[in-house]
Structure 1
Amino acid sequence: MSKSQRDRAAAKRIVEQQKAAERRRRVTIWTSVAVVGVLVIAGLIGWGVLSKQESSDAGKLTTPSVAVDEGTAFAFGTGKVTIDLYEDFMCPICNEFETSAADTIDSLITANTVTVRYHPVSILDRASNGTEYSTRAAGAGAAAAEGGKFREFHKVLYANQPEENSDGLTDAKIIELGKSVGLGDDFATAVNDKTYDSWATKVTETFSARGYTGTPTVVVNGKQLQGASGGVPTAADLSAAVTSAG
């Protein structure tokens, strides 16, 4: 073999070695890219699952076992006339209605004339400086209902109603009021854990879907009751409506 032939052979081997090295480099690069891609996809899937789970936990809807009317209310009495009361615990007019009509409602329940369904809604969260008092109070009402003390808690909560555009009552104060009517650790845990806050939101959405806009809304046998000039009904208005419906 001549020198020129040997040189060409050597050059050919060098070229082939370079090509082989380049092929190995490309395989290594694409293998790395594939592995990284798989890890990224797996990471995104894992993040998505975790994020979905966290979102699901945060918005979990727990409906009180004692709730009626599509899980939106707490019923008292066994009378044939049904009174639905939609109220917001931050609403001062609701408190006025409670003050004026409570004795009448109690008498009608005791006489088995009516079934009263209380629907705690939260349309005034905007009036509590970001603390969402209406939602928290409604959720606490649900916890009180689970503890068998809704009406007792209902009365004491109105007796201690905070002013609109205040921070509302703290959870600690709500728990204290619950204890004053015989509610215990389960109630306190539900308030602190906001167990029924998403439920309060659901009740409010149902309230809106039924075409109601303000509180208190009083409905007797499916017909909204209004007072003089379209205002809030009085205890006398309520008694008259129940008599007419009966």
Structure 2
Amino acid sequence: MSKFKRSLAGLAGAAALLLALSACTVNSVDNSSDKTDKGSSSSSDSDEVKVPSIAKDGGLEVGTGLNEIDVWVDYQCSHCRDFEESNGDYLTTLVETDNATVRIHPLYFLDRGAVDGSSFRAGNALACVADQSPDVMLEYSAKLFAADKWSDQIFVELADDLDVSGVDSCIEDLTFGPWLTESMKDAMEGDSLPATTEIERVQSTPTVVVNGAVYKGDPKSNSAFVSFFEANQKN
């Protein structure tokens, strides 16, 4: 067993405990629409941790704005999908107008730490696309939430829709899997947690932090998040 797989096995128990505290628990997921293609079972046995080119503090960073926004998501999490549907365009606008730097932290609570789970593979696909084409990272993240089903082929097709090619092997081989594992471990244990002193570790998804302040409002509300951002933005 590789070091990568052993580390994932160790995370499984911790992830199960964390799920009980998460805004998105296993019981909240609609298991009738499984997004995983069970035929896609490729895994990485490499001990090398390859880091995406735009990785910072365990997230994928886009933008150069003064305001810093960190968003921890699990792509199976319905509350995370709600936040994306309500506020994804707003985050994109903040980045495009140089008002914010946004970091997306892909986690996989709902996989129970599994190496081949849905959220794990989705997070790796996001990292593959972001590594090659940072400018479309937020749009690709939105596409992951909007997709009716998932498979490695669908991840590639979603990238093709954004004119991103050449990510097939990165997606299929879980190239950034070890990085995802380290990032999730850091988030769960609070090791060098960026952006805030309000929380010691990430215990739910979505967890959204604006300039150190943790958003506790309704993930479905754009007006609530806009008000929160404006109240905490830097001048």
**TM-score, normalization: structure 1?**
0.67
2:39 counterpart residue number: none
Unaligned runs of at least 5 residues, structure 2: 7-43, 191-200
Q: Whose helix proportion is higher, 1 or 2? A: 1
Percent identity between the two aligned chains? 30
Aligned counterparts, 1:1-246, within 5 A = 57-69=45-57, 72-126=58-112, 131-148=116-133, 149-162=136-149, 169-185=150-166, 187-210=167-190, 211-227=201-217, 231-232=218-219, 234-245=221-232, 246=234
1:24 counterpart residue number: none
Q: Distance in 1 between matches of 2:132 and 2:2?
A: 33
Q: Distance in 2 between matches of 1:51 and 1:145?
A: 26
Larger radius of gyration: 1
- 1:132 Cα offset (Å): 0.6
- 1:109 Cα offset (Å): 2.0
- 1:120 Cα offset (Å): 1.0
How many residues of Structure 1 are paired with residues of Structure 2 in the alignment?
Answer: 184
What do residues 154-175 of structure 1 show as CA deviations (whole Å, max 9, x unaligned)? 121111054xxxxxx2212211
Q: Distance in 2 between matches of 1:51 and 1:73?
A: 24
Q: Distance in 1 between matches of 2:87 and 2:185?
A: 26
Q: Distance in 1 between matches of 2:230 and 2:216?
A: 15
- 1:134 Cα offset (Å): 0.8
Q: Does the CA contact (< 8 Å) of 2:107 and 2:184 recur in 1?
A: yes
Q: Distance in 1 between matches of 2:148 and 2:112?
A: 16
Q: Distance in 2 between matches of 1:93 and 1:58?
A: 33
- 1:238 Cα offset (Å): 2.2
Q: Distance in 2 between matches of 1:66 and 1:78?
A: 12
Q: Does the CA contact (< 8 Å) of 2:54 and 2:62 recur in 1?
A: no
**TM-score, normalization: structure 2?**
0.69
- 1:242 Cα offset (Å): 2.1
Q: Distance in 1 between matches of 2:62 and 2:46?
A: 31
> Higher relative CO (CA 8 A, sep ≥ 6), structure 1 or 2?
2
Q: Does the CA contact (< 8 Å) of 1:90 and 1:161 recur in 2?
A: no
> RMSD value over aligned CA atoms?
2.8
What do residues 199-224 of structure 1 show as CA deviations (whole Å, max 9, x unaligned)? 11111112112211111110011221
Counterpart residue type for residue 50 of structure 2: T
